[in-house]
Structure 1
Amino acid sequence: MTAVSDHPSSGPAGLAGLYRRIIKLPEHIPFSLVQLAARVAVAHVFWQSAQSKLASWPVTLQLFANEYNLPFIDPSIAAPLATTAEITGSVLIFLGLFSRLAALMLLGVVAVIQIFVYPENWAEHLLWSSLLLLVLTRGAGVFSLDQVAERILSASKK
């Protein structure tokens, strides 16, 4: 016969214990997987944006001149700067190389977009910023070239 306390629906160790174990399951997901997912997701956003700019450069220049209306910078300078930042940032973030600097650079891009271009899209910008802030504050994680470089540098110090 089974003891009453061993039954899942009885006592504090029963349903409540099962609930606690289920709720804590995500804590077993390695944080580096979260970091990797954040990097891949945000890299994809900026890579796609850069590719659409490059696909039709004359349209891109028109957008920078007529729709984006960035103050203090000529559209013929802003367009290549933005495209270069998106390509460079997305590749570095994806690879996890100089990730924190790349995240900082892309946060600057997001800030410009939010303030001057599409302020009504704040929720989307907040999402991108959250992923970039994760990389900026916690690094790229184990699955990154930053981690490989750290291991090499640490080994060379010994």
Structure 2
Amino acid sequence: MTMTQDMPASSGRSLIAAYRGVLNLAGRVPLSLIQLAGRIAVALVFWQSAQSKLASWPVTLQLFAFEYNLPLISPAIAAPLATAAEIVGAALLFLGLFARIGALVLLGVTAVIQIFVFPGHWGEHLMWASLLLLVFSRGAGVISLDHLADSYFGRRA
């Protein structure tokens, strides 16, 4: 006997119905909730990175001089520039205020890290970029200061 002969047809249909029920439930998750989770997740990565840079600035400068070693830009300029981009981008994403600009800034940081610093970590960078592209392309969502400002100023225009 084959497996299909052992399993009654009604069981197969109920499995398919259960699967479709799960898909329908997943389809009901609000996009704004996904946008909020994505914004917070990627903002935390860059916020923590900036905080570790600020915690020991001399070590940060050494890392930029010897390990990160970006072309065409001095470590004395690259370190504060990268740190500022991480702080500002993370704050904008977390608050959902000018979130698309924050996402674009952090996409730039991610690209620099991928191309010049840690090219072997492409999987992690792709995950960050995916979340940042979600925010850049679809916005911060309803749970954001962008939405609040748009609602307030949109009515006045």
TM-score (norm 2): 0.91
Paired AA for residue 83 in structure 2: T
* Equivalent residue number for residue 117 of structure 2: 117
* CA distance, structure 1, for counterparts of residue 14 and residue 111 of structure 2: 50
Shift of 1:15: 3.8
Percent identity over paired residues: 64
2:30 paired residue number: 30
Q: Deviations over 1:117-136 (max 9, x none)?
A: 00011100000000000000
Distance 2:115 2:15 in 1: 50
- Equivalent positions of 1:95-110 (< 5 A) are 95-110=95-110
Partner residue, 2:55: 55
* Cα deviation digits, residues 30-81 of structure 1 (max 9, x gap): 1100000000000000000000000000000000001111000000000000
Alpha carbon RMSD of aligned pairs, Å? 1.4
Q: Paired residues, what number?
A: 149
The 3-state SS of whatever aligns with 1:10 is helix
Aligned mates of 1:35, 1:22 — CA distance in 2: 21
Alignment partner of 2:143: what SS? Answer: coil
Q: What stretches of structure 2 of length at least 5 have no aligned partner?
A: 1-8
Residue aligning to 1:143: 143
The offset of 1:27, in angstroms, is: 0.7
1:87 aligns with 2:94: no
In the TM superposition, residue 25 of structure 1 has moved relative to its aligned partner by 1.1
Distance (whole Å) between structure 2 residues aligned to residue 14 and residue 120 of structure 1: 45
Per-residue deviation, 1:14: 3.9
Structure 1 alignment gaps of length 5 or more: 1-8
Residue identity matched to 1:88:
V
- Structure 2 residue aligned with 1:68: 68
Match of 1:153 in 2: 153
Residue in structure 2 matched with residue 5 of structure 1 by the alignment: none
Match in the other structure for 1:129: 129
Counterpart Cα distance in 1 of 2:84 and 2:11: 61
**TM-score when scaled to structure 1?**
0.90
